[in-house]
Structures are given as structure tokens and as C-alpha cells.
Amino acid sequence: MKVSRSLKVAAAVVAVSALAANSAVAAVSITAGGSSFAAPLINACKVAWQTSTGNTLTYTTSSSGTGQTNENNGIGDFNFSDSSYTSTKSTVVHIPVVAAPIAVGYNLPNQSKDLYLSQKTLSDIFAGNVTKWNDPEIAADNNRTVSVSIFKKDSSGNPVKDSSGKPIVLNTVTKKVYYTLPNQNIRIVARADSSGTTANFVKLFNAQFPSVWSKPNDKTFINDFPGNINSSTNLGRIQTATGSAGVAATMAKTPYSIGYFESSYATGVLRNALIGNAAGGFAAPDAAGTSAFLGSATATADGKLTFNYNTTTPGAYVLGIVSYALVDSAATGDNAKAAKSFLQYVLSSACPTSAPTLGFATITGSLLDLDNKLLASLKA
């Protein structure tokens, strides 16, 4: 199934029906956990949902690997993972209810210019083939003419879409960029834990540069890394941290570092890079670029997506991903009903999924139809 080429705002009726369905049962406390990537959105959405329903949700931020393990072991009322997997329980379903970009953050002291990175340069940096900030590859990306698509946005900064749901491109800006980059070692900060964010980040490299990134993708950067991560050239140059928050915190105190996380973590001294796409332009990690990219993905009947990294859609940000709610479709009772209600709420326009400050995009179109079908199939 082809995913809609955009992620339009979902109808508010979804939120109303979700809350109405949940009001028929006594207030309960539910638990969930897993993906740190999805955590900012989940924690933002749960406040109003709790107020409206009287239920409470405790979300424990960890990693996609933990979310998958928890779901296999029946821990929590649902869990989140940024990558799909084969569960040990046949009744577990994947529902892609969160969409957002993986940002490539960097810490270049006393610099305020945007950083442009082609997919090949990005791959070479994280593969350890480019180790200096003033390497000719990075210099070439940042001393040239670049094109950036400018999307139409509403007063809140959300992308405006046309009648087919496609983000509207107002114009394409072409400009000359100049950046004198420092003669400093690049310090990589990666996820230490089993992470869906890492899995999706490395999938781009697996797809585009398979001769370099040839190891099986197992969601752990130190295992996916090409070559020997413990070689003398890498010792002390590559650090790891747990969770997106841990990566961002480590980068903030590590000058000349680069890493990956959810875009809202780029605060203070951290900035997000623009990444090259097959349309010949560069795109920032925002809701519009994510929408443009995910519109070219395909979905299976059970909600698992396959991304098209070579899409020529203008403004596509090629590190847009989804986070899956992992739910036991056989679960029943008040907790299962509350969990279903919350996930319906996340998919609704009442949840601030497209808030620019969070960097998330709303699930809409045929993918939203699939999500609603999967939620309807739950026994709750």
C-alpha cells in the first residue's frame, strides 16, 4: 500500500470518539515505555488526555529495544519502538502513530551558520572515513550553491497542504554558501543502547552505501559500525550515551561533536544539519520535510513501513521515521480500553503532533486509515 504523500491534520472526530469510548469505563492507571524518540510527543499528548478521561498514563523512557522486550514479556499496556520486529507473541501488532525526523545535530563552538551534509558525507563521517571538520568532503558540501525548498506554513508554523494532502512548496531558494570549517577532530556521539533511532539512522546507510555499511543492522551503533570501532584512530573519538537525551547532553559538553536524536533536543550550543536528498536539494529536520519523505513510503497490511531514500519529492528529509505503538491485540479489560483510547487520541488533531516546537508530524491519509483499522481490530 502506498502511504499518502503527506501527513494531513487528522479529523477531530477521532479524538471525540476515543474519549467517548473511554468514558464508559472507570478511570484507570496505565503504563507504557520504550522509545525515547517518541517520548516528547507522548508526554505532551497525555496531559490533556488525562484531564479529559480521568485516566493516568506513566510512560517510562528507555529505548526501542526495551520497548520490544517489554512487549514480548507482557510488561506495560503498550510499548513504543522506532523499528519493526518479529515478536515472540503472535498477537502483537505494530501501529505507526508517531512520525518525526531523526536530526543530525552538531556542536561547532562560536559558529552560527547552517551545516549542509550530503548523504555520502554523512555516511563517511559516521563510518569513520571522514575524521576532520575541514575535510574536503564537508568543505565541498558547504562551499557551493545549494537549493532548499520553502514550504507554506500557517500562523503556528505548521506545514499547509494542498487538496491531496501534499505539503505546499512556495518556492525553492538557491543560494551560495561559504563555510570555513575548523581543523578539528570530529567527535561522534552515538546511542549506546539498543535503539530504533539507531536502526533507522543506519538503514539509510545500509540502503545507500551497502558496500560500506555491510554488517547486519542490529539497532546498536557499536555493532553496526564499519570496521573496528576499537582501533587506535577511533579510541576516544567515538562516544556513546543512553537515549536521545543522553546523546544531546553528551554533545552539549563535547565541542566539535556530531550525533543523532529527535530534533527538539538541539538546544543551546547544538544545531541541526540540513541533509541532501535525491531531488538535488537539502532539507531540514522538520514536519514538512518529514511529510514529504514519508509520503513516498509503502506500508504492509500490518503497519510496517518501507522507506524510499531515493524519492525526488521536493524538500524531502530522508531521515524521517515513524515510531510504532506495540500492542497486544488480544488484551481486554479497562486498561486495554484506556490504552486504545490514548493511541486514538495521539492520532487525532487534539494531540499537538505537528507543533513546530516538538518537530512531529501528524499521521494522515492512507496511513491514518490503516492505523484506525488496526486500532479497530483490537479486542479492547
Q: What percent of the chain has pLDDT over 90?
A: 69
Say if residue 8's pLDDT is above 50. Answer: no
Higher-pLDDT residue of 217, 156? 217
Give the pLDDT of residue 165. 64
Query: Could you give the dihedral angle defined by the CA atoms of residues 248, 256, 275 and 210, in that order, rounded to the nearest 10 degrees?
Result: -90
Say if residue 21's pLDDT is above 70. Answer: no
Query: Positive or negative CA dihedral for 205, 1, 329, 262?
Result: positive
Q: Tell me the pLDDT tens digit for each residue of 57-77.
A: 999 999 999 999 999 999 999
Q: How does strand 116-117 pair with strand 274-276?
A: parallel
Q: Give the rounded distance of the alpha carbon of 206 from its chain centre.
A: 17
Give the pLDDT of residue 334. 96
| 351, three cell numbers | 494531540
* pLDDT interval class at 161 (50, 70, 90): confident
| 296, three cell numbers | 513516498
CATH 3.40.50.720 fits 13-99+313-376, yes or no: no
Q: Tell me the pLDDT tens digit for each residue of 257-307.
A: 999 998 888 999 999 999 999 999 999 999 889 988 988 899 888 889 999
What 3-state DSSP class applies to 241?
Answer: strand
Domain ranges for the chain = 13-99+313-376, 102-289
273 within 8 A of 256, measured Cβ to Cβ: no
Residue whose C-alpha is closest to residue 301's, from 106, 136, 94:
94
Higher-pLDDT residue of 364, 201? 201
Rounded distance between C-alpha atoms, residue 343 and residue 335, angstroms: 12
**102-289 is classed in which CATH architecture?**
3-Layer(aba) Sandwich (3.40)
Note the pTM of the prediction, 2 decimals: 0.85
Judge whether 13-99+313-376 and 102-289 match in fold.
yes
Give the pLDDT of residue 2. 53
Tally of CA atoms within 13 A in the half-sphere of 257 that contains its CB: 24
12 within 8 A of 349, measured Cβ to Cβ: yes
Q: Tell me the pLDDT tens digit for each residue of 326-350.
A: 999 999 999 999 999 999 999 998 8
Matching residue, cell 525553492: 172
| Interval 349-375 mean pLDDT | 80
Tell me the H-state helices in 309-361. 334-346
Residue whose C-alpha is closest to residue 6's, from 147, 151, 171, 202:
151
Q: Which residues contact 153 (CB under 8 A, 6 or more apart)?
A: 159, 160, 288
What is the 3-state secondary structure of 47-81?
Answer: HHHHHHHCCEEEEEECCHHHHHHHHHCCCCCEEEE
